[in-house]
Amino acid sequence: MSTKKVIAVVPSRMGSSRFPGKPVTPISGLPMIEHVRRRVELASSIDEVVVATCDQEIMDIVERAGGKAVMTADTHERCTDRVAEAMESLEGDIVVIVQGDEPLLLPEVLDRLVVPFREDNSVYCTNIVSRIRTQEDLEDVDMVKALLSETDDIMCFTRAPAPYQRIDGERPMYRQTGLSAFSCDFLTTFTKSPETRLEVIESIDFLRIVGHGYKIRAVVHDGRTLGVDRPEDVARIEQVLSDDPVQADLFNMIST
């Protein structure tokens, strides 16, 4: 069994065009960044959890709660670049990237994200994908679709409805969830690789990986994540925390 050290990094910043100050917004009395960080700590495969931020307010909240945060530059446009800078001061073999606006994250999903690295030394990048079940989601350009090979490697990402159904029948439709993991060496390779034309056109940075001929192993999780994009999403999250027994139990675990 591999003894690779796994570090989870949560990139977080105050600036957001749709929701400024989102990471520190209280959700059921707990700042959103703390919902995420504390849930990540519950994942059995994670050895260390670090918040990477360019804002002192976020760092202060995390450190007051007993967590670890590192300060990064405020010039990063992509979360992967922020994570790569954070990893320069950390030691690990695998880095799991967790978006800071997923307060309903299930810790066991992170464990599944790490499994391929334990089982196959040739794996250097994994993504969690979930089934698309509605036409509305399929046509949503904000939802990135993933096309999988027969070996569960991701062949392509796109914002367009995909795959095109020329022949009637069930089509395997998946979406990128935003949860990913890299070998630390490959994260450096990725961030230093030049952008690809398709990456720029689609505005999907993970297209850079497949565009340069590298593989991304897909891990299918049959569940839908619920993130916070706008202020009105907070009430939806709080409702789930109140009504869903699994989510309520997790909230009790991290808030006591």
Identify whether 176 is part of a domain: yes
CA distance 143 to 139: 8
DSSP structural state of residue 162: -
Identify whether 1 is part of a domain: no
- In DSSP terms, 68 is beta-bridged to 50
Average pLDDT over residues 214-224: 88
What local confidence, expressed as pLDDT, does residue 256 receive?
77
Identify whether 233 is part of a domain: no
Identify whether 88 is part of a domain: yes
| Beta carbons of 232 and 140 less than 8 angstroms apart | no
**For the segment 82-91, what is each residue's pLDDT rounded down to a tens digit?**
999 999 999 9
Count up the domains in the chain and report the number.
Answer: 1
CA distance 118 to 58: 33
Identify whether 247 is part of a domain: no
- Quick one: pLDDT band at residue 78, thresholds 50, 70, 90? confident
Range(s) of the domain holding residue 125: 6-223
Examine residue 194 and say whether the peptide bond preceding it is cis (omega within 30 degrees of 0): no
Task: Determine what percent of the chain is predicted with pLDDT higher than 70.
Answer: 97
> Residue 212 is part of a domain; what is its CATH number?
3.90.550.10
Identify whether 253 is part of a domain: no
Identify whether 125 is part of a domain: yes
- Quick one: pLDDT band at residue 1, thresholds 50, 70, 90? very low
Average pLDDT over residues 43-68: 96
